[in-house]
Amino acid sequence: MDNCIFCKIIKGEIPSAKVYEDDLCYAFKDINPQAPVHVLVVPKKHAANVLELSDEDKMLLGHIQLVIGRLAEELGVSKTGFRVMTNCGKDACQSVAHLHYHLLGGVQMTEKMV
Ligand code: DGP
């Protein structure tokens, strides 16, 4: 998508601190980290959020889950714990309209999620 920040990051048109890349997804450090480990994992295919996904994306989504698990191990938070979240829409404060999963770890979080 032409005016999507994350599409531009994936294409290398905007610089990012890349953590991982394969044919289907791209992972990079969040510009405004909220934890010692704060990585965004995004599909290369543009979708605004989970509401734009369909049956044909099942394999992609499973793949992303596996990548997130592997990254948690590589980034050293798999034993201590980590949180994976995706914001969708206004009430969740989604600020970038390209589906992305926050991988957060390296700190003791609270039980509260909102
Ligand atoms: P969300 O609120 O769930 O839409 O999160 C969007 C995240 O994207 C937010 O934590 C900041 C991050 N972000 C926005 N623009 C950029 C950017 O240009 N580079 C990087 N690395 N992260 C960005």
For residue 1, the model assigns a pLDDT of 86
* Structural domains of the chain, with CATH: 5-105 (3.30.428.10)
Q: 95 falls in which pLDDT band (50, 70, 90)?
A: very high
Distance 28 CA to ligand 1 centre (A): 10
Mean pLDDT of 57-85: 98
- pTM for the structure as a whole: 0.98
Residue 100 designated active-site: yes
pLDDT digits (tens, 9 = 90+) for 18-29: 999 999 999 999
For residue 43, the model assigns a pLDDT of 98
pLDDT digits (tens, 9 = 90+) for 72-90: 999 999 999 999 999 999 9
Q: Which of 28, 16, 23, 18 is CA-nearest to residue 44?
A: 23
Q: Across the strands, what pairs with 21?
A: 26
> Which 3 state secondary structure label does DSSP give 66?
helix
Residues 6+ positions from 43 with CB-CB distance below 8 Å: 24, 25, 57, 60, 64, 99
Mean pLDDT of 41-63: 98
Distance 30 CA to ligand 1 centre (A): 6
Q: Across the strands, what pairs with 26?
A: 21, 42
**49 CB less than 6 Å from ligand 1?**
no
